[in-house]
Amino acid sequence: MKIRAAVLEEFGAPLVVQEIDLAEPKAGEVLVRLVACGVCHTDLYTASGADPSGYSPTVLGHEGAGVVERVGDGVSSVSPGDHVVTLFSPQCRECAHCRDPRTNLCLAIREQQNLGYLPDGTTRLSRDGEPIRHFMGTSTFAEYTVMPEIALAKVNRDAPLDHACLFACGLSTGLGAAINTAKVEPGTTCVVFGAGMVGLGAVAGCRLQGAERIVCVDLSEQRLELARGQGATDLLVGGPDVVARIVELTGGFGADYTFEATGNVAVMRQAVESARMGWGLATVCGVAGRGETLDVVPRYLITGRRVAGSSFGGVKGRDGVPQLVDRWLAGEIDVDPFVSHTLTLDDVNEGFELMEQQAGIRSVIAFG
């Protein structure tokens, strides 16, 4: 079938919206009609050429939600008409990692997905007979996409898909960092560095876990006010002295849990140094630039602080995303403030520009 999609032709250049070909789903695959897709920093990171594992041509986009149109042989967990959220982090439910509660990093299709292919090592996207690679196994900057069944989360049909798409990446990453990775305990003190999509999700996650005090740190006072709406009790404008201010706020000890959601290695270090002596846990969610390293003074670790990394918030997608969506529908999570701009597919490059300007939280592409 012919579809319109935003293709990354050349790193550092605008995406090109054009007509390409999409083949039918094969065994274990699903054809999805996209209804909405968030424009995420990871898409911009790859488009810029900063990602050492990036490739082109490819159809970017991974924060999608849509409706199942057709299924390939052997598909049993979704049917035509089902509403789904795309998962760049799949869940096969069979590999060693899927069976272990300690991780969500499914091993089933990771190798081919990282190369831009579907599980059989081929693509369903092409142009004039030449293959176009998939991005993160999703390629949601398109009217339709073909994806593995194990990379789709079936969600409640009552969930508006133009908001549900945020659970495909940023929002679940932040919520899950607090709920799954850190397992924040009631009555504790948390500090979240960064009030973008992931950081605001972490603030909401800390609130859902019953944290007594939630400090949010960001350079933007406007974003900090959004954090207050998600449950932050204290707001701090970031800077080189923020660790000292956090330690002072917490009686000289530091916070029980800290979360980094900026991708800035200097802020990651602040998250570690702001964690409480004795048992403080710093959870790193942000993606640092190529070749950057985290510089931590060993004394902070020797005196009881721990550091954890979190990918997609530790959420096992097919099981966990529907549960988070249900909590949103039940009124526990306020998603409306996160959608700051609604764009068309032709405006996808504007979405990148808005992100670079830090205008709003998330631009969402709405398909007709």
190 is catalytic: no
Contact 311, 106 (CB under 8 A): no
The single-letter code of the amino acid at 306 is: R
Cα distance between residue 92 and residue 334, in whole Å:
30
Residue from 29, 37, 41, 163 carrying the catalytic annotation = 41
Contact 321, 172 (CB under 8 A): yes
- Tell me whether the omega of the peptide bond preceding residue 80 falls within 30 degrees of 0, making it cis: no
Beta bridge partners of 2: 21
Cβ-count burial of 247 within 10 angstroms (0-12 exposed, 13-18 middle, 19+ buried)? middle
Residue from 4, 33, 70, 95 carrying the catalytic annotation = 95
Residue from 58, 86, 106, 283 carrying the catalytic annotation = 106
Cα distance between residue 246 and residue 255, in whole Å:
8
165 is catalytic: no
41 is catalytic: yes
Tokens 């593995």 correspond to what residue? 148
- Here the tokens at position 272 are 């570690």
Tokens 């009555």 correspond to what residue? 187
Per-residue pLDDT 10s for the chain (368 aa) are 999 999 999 999 999 999 999 999 999 999 999 999 999 999 998 998 888 888 999 999 999 999 999 999 999 999 999 999 999 999 999 999 999 999 999 999 999 999 999 999 999 999 999 999 999 999 999 999 999 999 999 999 999 999 999 999 999 999 999 999 999 999 999 999 999 999 999 999 999 999 999 999 999 999 999 999 999 999 999 999 999 999 999 999 999 999 999 999 999 999 999 999 999 999 999 988 888 999 999 999 999 999 999 999 999 999 999 999 999 999 999 999 999 999 999 999 999 999 999 889 999 999 97
Residue from 4, 33, 93, 110 carrying the catalytic annotation = 110
- Tell me whether the omega of the peptide bond preceding residue 57 falls within 30 degrees of 0, making it cis: yes
Give φ, ψ of 205 to 5 degrees. Answer: -65, -40
206 is catalytic: no
**Each residue's pLDDT tens digit, 194-228:** 999 999 999 999 999 999 999 999 999 999 999 99
- pTM passes above 0.85: yes
362 is catalytic: yes
Q: Which helix (H) or strand (E) holds 171?
A: helix 170-176
DSSP state of 166: G
Residue from 37, 98, 165, 190 carrying the catalytic annotation = 98
Beta bridge partners of 84: 66, 154
